[in-house]
Amino acid sequence: MMRMILCTLVFASLLSPVYFYPSGNPQPTDYIFLALVFMVYFHSMATSRELPLAKIPLCWGLLAYWVFIHCLVSSLALQSSDFYRTMAFWMYNTAVASCFLYLLGMGPKSKIYVEWGICLGLITSGVGVIVSLGVEGRAVGFFNNPNQLAFFSLLGISSLLVLARMSLLVRPLVILAVLSGVLGIFAAASLAAIAGFFLVVMGYLFANLQPKQLFRFSVILSLLFMTTLLVDDEAVVVISENIYNRSVVAEGKFDSIAEERNYDRILAFPEYALLGAGEGHLERFYPYNKNEIHSSLGNLLFAYGIPGIALFLALLFSIVRSSPLPIWFVVSGPIVYSLTHMGLRTTLFWIFLAIVWSEYGAKERYA
């Protein structure tokens, strides 16, 4: 049964960057991951092992519980079903991440399958980028928008680094996956993802100051340079122009960040920062009711109040507190991206946190 579980994990990860339905709706990979959850929980009970949910950090469990109760109370108080979808996403992502923790704790073989899955997901995403280059301005790959592509690519590279304990092996599958991830970040022309990527690179360099490791890094850079030579010149020009155009307007976007990212909703309704307003029923906030707050941290504060953001920050600290400095840089990459984008529904984000906890946090817990 374990082989079937691991193959399901790889297949679900491979399809992760393929979106068939509008954003905010379950995608094909979500149904496969859901099947994985049932299989893993059944395996844990059939073999009398600890349930996967018990393996997540305490503050993670408390955060998921707070969101669940908050959504339930909000839906009853406001007589709105908007909150049920949010509740489902949080419970689903927590369950999937707990399954990754369970499998990563099963030994090196399971860890290899997790690595394969992330690699194949990045490569699939890279194929989508190549197909979509030149079709539109910023590449979207198989996603619905370029920011989804950029965040997925950033998380995939970060996850592979942590799984390899900051020492990437020069293997064809891994190198191809990393190159696909880098292509995704820059083709999407996401300045936040590029900033996060440079933090991840800094973490890698800090962890690999030895000549042997620096040689590997130079090999990856050389392969990246060679890849750009193989890519169509017009596509390279399009990517460069997109990044330049985004950087030119960056200052103006920063000046209007409160309005553009809906931070002004927090300023207009500060009373909700205490216990949170929930994610839904946005008509309450007219005229600041356009879309969600485009920030993971801002959304946590406004939707779930001080308890929500405090538990999330406690989760981040519990994950990295016993980690070396390079891991702090790697974790900072996706967090920097999340300052101006809402990425809490991205399943790979929670899988990434589970991987960091498995490699650097869980050991301390069970010591």
pLDDT for 203-217, tens place per residue?
988 887 766 666 666
243 touches 190 (CB < 8 A): no
* 298-315 exposure pattern, b = at least 16 Cβ within 10 A, e = fewer: bbbbbbbbebbbbbbebb
Q: How confident is the model at residue 309 (pLDDT cuts 50, 70, 90)?
A: very high
Give residue 137's Cα distance to chain centre: 24
CA distance readout (Å), 315 to 249, 312, 350, 353, 356: 34, 5, 11, 9, 11
pTM, full prediction: 0.90
Which helix (DSSP H) or strand (DSSP E) does residue 15 occupy? none
Check pLDDT > 60 for residue 262.
Answer: yes
Of residues 281 and 227, more confidence is placed in 281
Spatial separation of the C-alpha atoms in residues 28 and 36, rounded to whole Å: 13
Average pLDDT of the chain to the nearest whole number: 86
pLDDT digits (tens, 9 = 90+) for 102-145: 999 988 899 999 999 999 999 999 999 988 876 667 889 999 99
Q: How many domains does the chain have?
A: 1
* pLDDT above 50: residue 63: yes
Per-residue pLDDT for 196 more than 70? yes
Where does residue 305 fall: left (phi above 0), alpha (psi -120 to 50 degrees), or beta otherwise?
left
> What confidence tier does 248 reach under pLDDT thresholds 50, 70, 90?
low
Residue 78 near residue 332, CB atoms below 8 Å: no
Is 90 exceeded by the pLDDT of residue 329?
Answer: yes
Domain extent for 58 = 2-365
How far apart CA 250 and CA 28 sit, in angstroms, is 35
Q: If we measure between CA atoms, which residue out of 13, 16, 211 comes closest to residue 112?
A: 13
d(CA 127, CA 140): 11
Distance, in Å, from the CA atom of 190 to the CA atom of 198, rounded to the nearest integer, reads 12
CB hemisphere CA count around 247 (13 angstroms):
11
Mean pLDDT lowest among 160-164, 168-172, 351-355: 168-172
Q: Contact 113/163 with Cβ under 8 angstroms?
A: no
Amino acid at 309: I
pLDDT at 32: 97
